[in-house]
Chain A
């Protein structure tokens, strides 16, 4: 298993990675989630051995990796744009690490075929990377990284260069492939959807520090502070009276702050909160509303498709308890 203790990477005076400690058990997929510039890619490169540590240690199964250069770590790194070798065919890209290990050619060919099938690119052997689409290139990069069964695979925003449609499909595939291969993976991304699609565990990183880590649904349900909640996709944080009203309506004990998603308020005739519809917009799944709910102020809400609500209507709303998160501490506003 991978253990990071107080890992620090400095560029001059600024610490890109600041005392980060993480554990990653075998077979798990950990996503490091953070906005761009938070140091997550530097952290990944440090684990790969591409950035020297200023302090702290990275170890695998208790063995410190400080003296081990990148190519002896037995990790595979998959870059954001794949970084396929443009002068080699798909098959030669995939076989790259196998050739380095002088794998007998019959085994090598069989393994390449198996890997290309695994990533859904059977028959692409002789194509050059330049002729592939972005998604295909990422798949080849994944096959290349998996070829020698690395003990850890490092993924740098593996899906973010792709368009939305492809991203969703490849995310599912990637998760299945990682699980089928039983690979331990460390993934960094700025996209919480990508993290949720792929990872079992989540670490939220901000300004070089890990501010929260844990199981993915635990982090999701209990964001540690307002910024984390907003980064995880919560629409806004309510405080004091507004928080009390929402929690009461949700049947939860009072707390000083609560984060709500856009879909936390649902139009429901039996709901305890009265609100006036200010605007309504139809989307493929539901009707998105902006409502003015007395003491709560102006908030997002949703109604099911087919419910006829229009601006000016008085509606009753309830709170969907799975769509709110109580924040433990509130930083001074």
Chain B
């Protein structure tokens, strides 16, 4: 009983936070759609869902995400193999660099692709600017890294001996791949594909910058309905649709991941020397890497081009508010706001994330305790199923009136960002905490260590690096967060991604140049943070 009481006490904080910052906004939003003057009127939602434009938007979301997921997996698998199984020169550096696109701010990726595919861009001749193909390219760019990382980590720790046993039984290399390796990797591949699909279907910044009003997904449509059409009912109807679809997808993915025998044999195999037979894989990897570099290089070059020559004028202009007063505050001020917001979001995400991770990974001592724990576990996983835009929208319509009026609080944006970063923190910490043999804690306790002392001697030495890595990730995610922030940031204290999006929307060469320069600054900052995280060498960081 005392254990359960302690557990509930520990859980009270995160439960309260999630209750106010998650349950309240989401239920408020559902209410906005289903209730008219306090009466239950589902007809209005059905009316919205029957609109032809909504059908178009839903179908567009579905097929772009599916195509992008497929491409990301197909392009990611050879790179995952080459970078995690072969002793390629410089593979550690390349693996570190591959973490960057994963946290690169979505707006920055959008800007980079516009620069790449737009008129006068290196690939402008393809005429892809403003087409669905451009959006798919952007989504693939973003998510190849997720596939490489997730599948690569699994591939690295795959025992090579079953494959060798198959080869000794007469299986050719391609037969080994088909009958032994891929089945063993299936959970990782399905996991990566489902998370990539989720990222694609809820992608916001890329789609908004590349697709605008013409090519909208459910996510950008919610934003457009709220901010330009002011049709809150339709927006909330779409949000509900989004939540249902995402939760269904997560459940389906969990079923697909289940394998006949989950106790896989694990042993990290040393990387193998490159042989002649690996040429195709290595070439494919180089092509993928080139394709990843191209938009970034184009972005940097674009930010440095001034008129006919090169120069830093775009960067110097960051201290101004742009042509025609495009902004309320200079870009440098927005950068400061972004950094401050990210610091706040990080400590909040960490505080809640560490507590949640501790709660869900501890072993239960009784059936009742296990029941409480698994209920909490399910509750804490809820934010995973809700996109940033839905969250921002929910905040917007519920936290602006009593009892909780946070409209003017400087903590409103950090809170939303912390909630967006929370799954990242929990996903980094739970495998590490769950991997600690509980008998170590029992040994410490039997030697006379108090629960706090046990935490210090057993958990802390293992978990401090992952905690640092998780905070780096939360910081980077918060810096680039655009979905929720775009709803909540006030005009006089915008964050950097919001400013970049605003600059893109204002005509003028200088504004565009400033958007490019600001994107480089933002990308550089997140890249620095993420590369520092990579130096910590936490296994499996950034893998799902």
Contact = CB atoms under 8 A, between A and B. Distances in A.
Given A83-B162, A85-B162, A100-B175, A77 B263 contact: no
B180 interface: yes
Interface stretch (B163-171, B305-313, B315-323, B411-419): B163-171
A70 B175 contact: no
Given A70-B164, A77-B165, A87 B170 contact: no
B458 to A, nearest CB: 30
B261 interface: yes
Interface of B: 159, 161-162, 164-173, 175-176, 179-180, 183-184, 186, 259-261, 263-265
B204 to A, nearest CB: 38
B263 A79 contact: no
Given A50-B164, A83-B161, A85-B180, A97 B169 contact: yes
Interface in A78-99: 78-79, 81, 83-87, 96-97
Contacts, number: 85
A130 B261 CA distance: 6
A144 B166 CA distance: 10
B263 A71 contact: no
A48 B169 CA distance: 10
3 residue pairs, one from A and one from B, having the closest CB atoms: A77-B168, A130-B261, A97-B169
A83 to B, nearest CB: 4
A154 interface: yes
B265 A71 contact: no
Q: Please indicate which of the listed interface residues B168, B171, B175 has the most CB atoms of chain A within 10 Å of its own CB.
A: B168
30 contacts: A45-B164, A50-B167, A70-B164, A70-B167, A71-B167, A71-B170, A71-B171, A71-B173, A71-B175, A75-B168, A77-B164, A77-B165, A77-B168, A77-B169, A78-B165, A83-B165, A85-B162, A85-B165, A85-B180, A86-B260, A86-B263, A87-B184, A87-B259, A96-B169, A96-B171, A96-B179, A97-B169, A97-B171, A100-B170, A144-B169
Nearest to B164: A50
A128 B162 contact: no
B270 to A, nearest CB: 10
A97 B165 CA distance: 10
What range describes how many residues of A lie at the interface? 20 to 34
A101 B170 contact: yes
A78 B165 CA distance: 7
A56 interface: no
Interface string A140-174: 01001101100000100000000000000000000
A87 B171 contact: no
Given A79-B165, A85-B162, A128 B261 contact: yes
Interface residues of B: mostly helix, strand, loop or mixed? helix
A6 B259 CA distance: 46
B274 to A, nearest CB: 13
B168 A76 contact: yes
A19 to B, nearest CB: 23
A163 B264 CA distance: 23
A118 B106 CA distance: 62
Q: Please indicate which of the listed interface residues B167, B180, B263, B264 has the most CB atoms of chain A within 10 Å of its own CB.
A: B167
Nearest to A148: B170
Interface string A55-71: 00000000000000111
A272 interface: no
A35 interface: no
A85 B166 contact: yes
A74 interface: yes
Nearest to B160: A50
Contact of A148 (B169, B260, B263, B265): B169
A84 B260 CA distance: 13
A129 interface: yes
Nearest to B168: A77
Nearest to B183: A87
A328 B95 CA distance: 59
Contacts of A141: 165
B264 A86 contact: yes
A74 B168 CA distance: 8
Contacts of B176: 71
Nearest to B166: A96
Contacts of B265: 81, 86
Contacts of B183: 85, 87
A203 to B, nearest CB: 21
Q: Please indicate which of the listed interface residues A76, A77, A87, A147 has the most CB atoms of chain B within 10 Å of its own CB.
A: A87
A87 B261 contact: yes
Q: Please indicate which of the listed interface residues A69, A81, A100, A148 has the most CB atoms of chain B within 10 Å of its own CB.
A: A100
Contacts of B172: 71
A253 B465 CA distance: 71
Q: Please indicate which of the listed interface residues B162, B169, B176, B264 has the most CB atoms of chain A within 10 Å of its own CB.
A: B169
Contacts of A50: 164, 167-168
Contact of A71 (B168, B259, B264): B168
A84 B183 CA distance: 13
Contacts of B169: 71, 76-77, 96-97, 100, 144-145, 147-148
Contact of A48 (B168, B175, B260): B168
B179 A154 contact: no
A146 B171 CA distance: 15
A87 B185 CA distance: 11
A74 B167 CA distance: 10
A70 B180 contact: no
Contacts of B171: 71, 96-97, 100
Contacts of A154: 168
B155 to A, nearest CB: 16
Contacts of A148: 169-170
A147 B172 CA distance: 17
Interface string A26-49: 000000000000000000010011
Given A71-B171, A96-B166, A100-B171, A79 B261 contact: no
A130 B164 contact: no
Given A71-B175, A77-B164, 9 more contacts: A50-B167, A77-B165, A83-B162, A85-B166, A85-B179, A86-B264, A87-B260, A96-B179, A130-B263
A84 B164 CA distance: 11
A6 to B, nearest CB: 23
Contacts of A128: 260-261
Interface string A284-295: 000000000000
A86 B161 CA distance: 12
Given A70-B167, A71-B168, A74-B170, A79 B161 contact: yes
A132 to B, nearest CB: 11
A45 B173 CA distance: 17
Given A77-B165, A96-B169, A100-B169, A86 B175 contact: no
Nearest to A153: B168
A137 B179 CA distance: 19
